[in-house]
């Protein structure tokens, strides 16, 4: 790398640090913008996922001569039919399982308290690190209990926010189906010549990365959820349908999602069979087998090497994102990294072409 390039990189980094420093100092100016972004982020995210899932259907319909408005109406009606059919299919089992769960909540709570009391009574015989971990968990539980009233208020405000989000999702989804081909030209037409070509190729690569990730992740999560549901049915685990639905959404989170979905299943297994740990063992085996099949067979065949991200990189990104910005960051961390990687690769390839062209001209 030449001295000129190093100088450009240094100036760019200094400028970036300068912008970050003064943005932090005057962050209050941007509060209204942050509020707007927080309001539209979740519906935009869900609308984008629905778009990428249904985009192949739209492409197929329009390839067979159906106009754009016809394909949109067909997809919307198809989604409504799927959601309605699923609701009718699982409404009765879910309502039964939820009512049973609510009915058994005091019993489950008593069992958890008994287990907690047993652990506290015998913690002195455990290693020091285990004792410290137990104390930390107990403090966290007490903190949750103290904040009960705040949680109720947060739940009410969250319900209002969720209602607003549900209203916005169809608008973003239909807008993407209708005008998705207009987004990229509005960006790359700002540029001219070779820069326009490069921006157009980069946007196309970003679109492909997001499409591959969303479609692949939804398919993988669905296969895993069905596998876990069948496994839980075979071992006669209570609330298997609820646990499988929870697993579907948690499996959207790379690496740690399946293990998050395992926690409530273990609790249910302990309550259902407190005297016999075999049920817990079977729950762990089912989750482990499903995870291994997903990692070694499903993901390589569905995702292939399109994203080409090392598993250690995935773990590091997910953990760092969770510590920095919470749950939403965990969900979007991997696709964000994949997009940044695609942009960086395109920048590198473009600079390489320019350098080779300059060498040939000399």
Condensed to tens digits (0 to 9), the pLDDT of residues 275-307 reads 777 888 898 898 888 877 777 766 666 565 556
Distance CA 175, CA 55 (A): 13
Q: Please identify every stretch of the chain with a pLDDT value under 50, giving residue numbers as ranges.
A: 1, 144-149, 151
Question: Looking at 201-282, which runs of residues are DSSP E strands?
Answer: none
* Res 361: pLDDT: 64
* Res 23: pLDDT: 67
Query: How much is the CA Rg of the chain, to the nearest whole Å?
Result: 25
Distance CA 39, CA 50 (A): 18
Cα separation values, 327 from 178, 228, 256, 331, 332, Å: 31, 23, 12, 7, 9
Distance CA 257, CA 247 (A): 8
Q: Both tokens of residue 234?
A: 């075979």
Residues 86-127: tens digit of each pLDDT: 777 766 766 776 677 677 667 666 666 776 676 667 666 666
Question: Looking at the chain, which runs of residues are DSSP E strands?
Answer: none
Distance CA 174, CA 43 (A): 12
* Res 115: pLDDT: 66
* Res 77: pLDDT: 93
pTM of the predicted protein model = 0.67
Contacts of 219 (CB under 8 A, 6+ apart): 302
Largest CA distance in the chain: 82
* Res 74: pLDDT: 93
């Amino acid at each position: 790398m030449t001295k000129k390039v190093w100088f450009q990189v240094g100036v760019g980094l200094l400028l970036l640090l300068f912008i970050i420093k003064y943005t932090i100092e005057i962050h209050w100016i941007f509060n209204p913008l942050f509020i707007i972004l927080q309001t539209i982020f979740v519906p935009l995210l869900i609308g984008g996922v629905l778009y990428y899932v249904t985009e192949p259907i739209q492409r197929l319909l329009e390839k067979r001569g159906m106009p754009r408005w016809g394909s949109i109406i067909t997809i919307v009606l198809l989604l409504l039919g799927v959601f309605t059919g699923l609701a009718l299919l699982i409404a009765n089992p879910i309502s039964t399982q939820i009512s049973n769960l609510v009915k058994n909540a005091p019993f489950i709570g008593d069992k958890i308290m008994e287990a907690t009391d047993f652990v506290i009574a015998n913690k002195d015989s455990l290693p020091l690190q285990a004792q410290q971990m137990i104390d930390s968990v107990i403090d966290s539980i007490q903190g949750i209990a103290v904040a009960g009233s705040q949680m109720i208020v947060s739940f009410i405000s969250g319900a209002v926010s969720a209602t607003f989000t549900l209203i916005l999702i169809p608008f973003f989804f239909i807008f993407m189906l209708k005008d998705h081909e207009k987004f990229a030209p509005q960006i790359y037409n700002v540029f001219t010549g070779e820069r326009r070509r490069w921006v157009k190729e980069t946007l196309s690569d970003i679109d492909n990365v997001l499409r591959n990730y969303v479609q692949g992740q939804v398919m993988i999560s669905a296969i895993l959820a069905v596998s876990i549901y069948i496994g839980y049915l075979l071992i006669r685990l209570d609330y298997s349908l609820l646990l499988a639905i929870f697993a579907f959404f948690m499996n959207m989170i790379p690496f740690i999602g399946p293990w998050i979905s395992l926690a409530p299943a273990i609790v249910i297994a302990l309550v259902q069979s407190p005297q016999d740990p075999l049920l817990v063992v079977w729950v762990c085996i089912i989750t482990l087998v499903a995870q291994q099949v997903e990692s070694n067979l499903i993901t390589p065949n569905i995702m292939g090497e399109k994203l080409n991200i090392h598993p250690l990189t995935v773990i590091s990104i997910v953990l760092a994102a969770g510590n920095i910005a919470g749950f939403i960051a965990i969900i979007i961390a991997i696709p964000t990294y994949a997009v940044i990687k695609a942009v960086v690769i395109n920048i590198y390839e473009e600079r390489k072409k320019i350098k080779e062209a300059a060498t040939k001209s000399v």
